[in-house]
Structure 1
C-alpha cells in the first residue's frame, strides 16, 4: 500500500500500474506522404479515434524550441508562475483542472488562439528577452500545427469521399474558430518511486472539439481506451504528432468516427511536457451530421446543437462524464 504524505496529493487518484508496463504496439501510424494516407486516417478514426502522423513536414526544431521555453517557465518558482494565473479559464493552473472538482498531478498554461494574435499571453510578466523568446516559439509552432490540422482534416474528407474537400477543415481555420492551446507539465513524484502505482496526471475524458493535435517529450504517460474499455499505454515519440478525434467530429460523422477516451498517468521518475492544440469551430456553428455523409434512410444519432452550447455543457461537467450523452437521440 502507498501512503501519500504530501497533503497536496490527497485529492488525486492513484492508478495501479500493470506489470510489465508495456506500451501498446497497435497505435495506427499514418505517413502523410503516402498515397494511402486518407484511407488510413479514416480507418484509424473508426477503430481508435486516435492515430500518429509521421512525415508531417514540421521541423523538429519548432517543437523542441517551444518545449524548452515551456520547461523554462515551469522551472520558475511557484510565486512567479502564479503571476500569470489563476486559470479562469486562461492562464496558469496547478493540480485543479476546471471548476468542478477534478484534480491531477499537473501544472499547465492555457491560451486562447484565433487567427489574430493570442488573446491571452501569460508570459507577459516575464522580463525581456524571455517573453520575446516564448512568444516567438509559440507563434512559430502554432502556425505550423494549424496547417497540419487543416491537411489532416482535408485528408479525412477525401477518405470519406465527401466534397468540398475543406468541408471539415474550414470549421477550424476561419477567423471565428475557437482554438485552445495547452502546455502541460507532469513533474516527477518521488513518493511513488519503487511502487506499483501512478498518480492521475489528467483524468480520463474525451475532447469536446473537432480534433486535438498533441506532441510530447520522449516520456510515457498517455493512455487511450480501446473499444472493449481496456486502457493501453501509447509509446512516446517526440518527433511525431498524435491526433485525437473529438466529440464534435464524432457528431459530424454521425458516429462513424469515435471520440477517443484518454488520460495521462504521472509516475515517480520522469517529467513529462505535452503541447496540445484543440481545434474547435466558431461558437455559432451548428454541430450536426454532415449531409454529404447521410444515406437516404440514415437518421441522425444526435440532436443539433451549436458549439457554444456544447462547450458550455462540457465545461460544466466532470472530466469522466459522457458529455455527448444528453445530446444523443
Structure 2
C-alpha cells in the first residue's frame, strides 16, 4: 500500500458552475476568456477529435496498465519519461496512481521507443493510437489558444499557439491509471494538489469521478466526468504571459470506491529557450509586470526541485 503523506480526504461536492465552451459557437472566444479569468478551467465540446480515436487510445491504455507488474516495469522508470508507480517526481510525493509519461517530439510524435518491449502487434497498435491522438489533441489545444487571443482582442492570433506548435516545443503526454481501492475507508490521494507548469493542459478521462479543482476562495469542488468532451486548464506559463489575468488552476485527484480511473493529458509546453514574461500587448497603461522574465528551461528546472503543492511561481514574482 502507498504511504499517505496527508490524512484521507473527503470528496467534494460536484460543481455545476464549470463553463462549457462550444468551439463552433459564435461568441465562444469571449466565454473562454471569462472561464480562464474566473476558474482557469473549462470544458470544450465540438472539439473535432473522433470518439473512435479517443476510445481506441483508452483501450490501449487500459491494456497496458493491465499487464503484469514486472512487464510494465520493463519500461524505463520515469526519470522523467517512462513508467512510474506511486512515486510522483523525485521529492517525496506519492499517490495512488501508476502512469506512463511520454515525450512528444516533432517527428514522429510521441516518442514511444520505451514501448519497444511490447510484443507485436501490441506495440504498433499502441504507438499508432498515441501518434494519432497527440496530433488531434494538439490541434484542439491550438484552436483553444487562438480563441483565447481572439477573445483578448490581440494580434497575431497565434501569439500563444505558435509556442506550442514550435518544432522544439516541450510537450508531453501523460497516461494515468488510478486503481480502485476497495476496503479503504475514505478517499485515497491519487495525485496531490498542484498546478501545471506548461501553457495549457487538455484532459480526457473515463467515466469515473475523482478530479477536483480549487476555486478562488480556496474551496475544493469535484468535476463531473464527461467522456465526450475535453477539459482544459490554464498552466503557470500562460498565467505569466497574461500577467496573472488568466488563472493557473490548482487541482488534485482522489481515488476511491470500486472503479478505477484512467486519464489522458496533453501538456502543451514552450521550447526550452522560450523566454516567458507578460505580453506587452496585454499590459494596460501604467500596468506593472507581476513576473520577471525567465526561460522555460529555467522554470522547469526549478519546478522539478519542488514538491507538488509548492508555489512554483513565487520565486519568479517581482
TM-score range, shorter chain: over 0.9
Q: 1:290 maps to which residue? A: 279
Question: Residue 32 of structure 1 contacts residue 55 of structure 1 at CA under 8 Å; is this kept in 2?
Answer: yes
Q: Which runs of 5+ in 1 are unaligned?
A: 1-7
Matches within 5 A, 1:1-329: 8-18=1-11, 22-117=13-108, 118-192=110-184, 195=185, 197-329=186-318
How high is the TM-score relative to the length of structure 1?
0.94
Superimposed CA distance per residue, residues 229-281 of structure 1 (whole angstroms, 9 cap, x where no aligned partner): 00000000011000010000000000000000000000031110000010000
Superimposed CA distance per residue, residues 262-321 of structure 1 (whole angstroms, 9 cap, x where no aligned partner): 000000311100000100001000000111111121110001100000000011100000
Question: Residue 2 of structure 2 contacts residue 86 of structure 2 at CA under 8 Å; is this kept in 1?
Answer: no
Task: Note the C-alpha offset of 1:123.
Answer: 1.7
Q: Which runs of 5+ in 2 are unaligned?
A: none
Please give the alpha-carbon distance, in whole angstroms, between the structure 2 residues aligned to 1:209 and 1:15.
29
Question: Residue 9 of structure 2 contacts residue 189 of structure 2 at CA under 8 Å; is this kept in 1?
Answer: no
Superimposed CA distance per residue, residues 118-155 of structure 1 (whole angstroms, 9 cap, x where no aligned partner): 33432210000000100111111001001111100000
Superimposed CA distance per residue, residues 90-122 of structure 1 (whole angstroms, 9 cap, x where no aligned partner): 100000000000000000000010211233432
SS of alignment partner, residue 9 of structure 1: coil
Please give the alpha-carbon distance, in whole angstroms, between the structure 2 residues aligned to 1:252 and 1:285.
12
Question: Residue 106 of structure 2 contacts residue 167 of structure 2 at CA under 8 Å; is this kept in 1?
Answer: yes
Task: Note the C-alpha offset of 1:12.
Answer: 5.0
Question: Residue 225 of structure 1 contacts residue 260 of structure 1 at CA under 8 Å; is this kept in 2?
Answer: yes
Quote the RMSD (CA, aligned, Å).
1.0
Question: Residue 90 of structure 1 contacts residue 120 of structure 1 at CA under 8 Å; is this kept in 2?
Answer: no
Question: Residue 109 of structure 1 contacts residue 183 of structure 1 at CA under 8 Å; is this kept in 2?
Answer: yes
Question: Residue 208 of structure 2 contacts residue 261 of structure 2 at CA under 8 Å; is this kept in 1?
Answer: yes
Question: Residue 12 of structure 1 contacts residue 105 of structure 1 at CA under 8 Å; is this kept in 2?
Answer: no
How high is the TM-score relative to the length of structure 2?
0.98
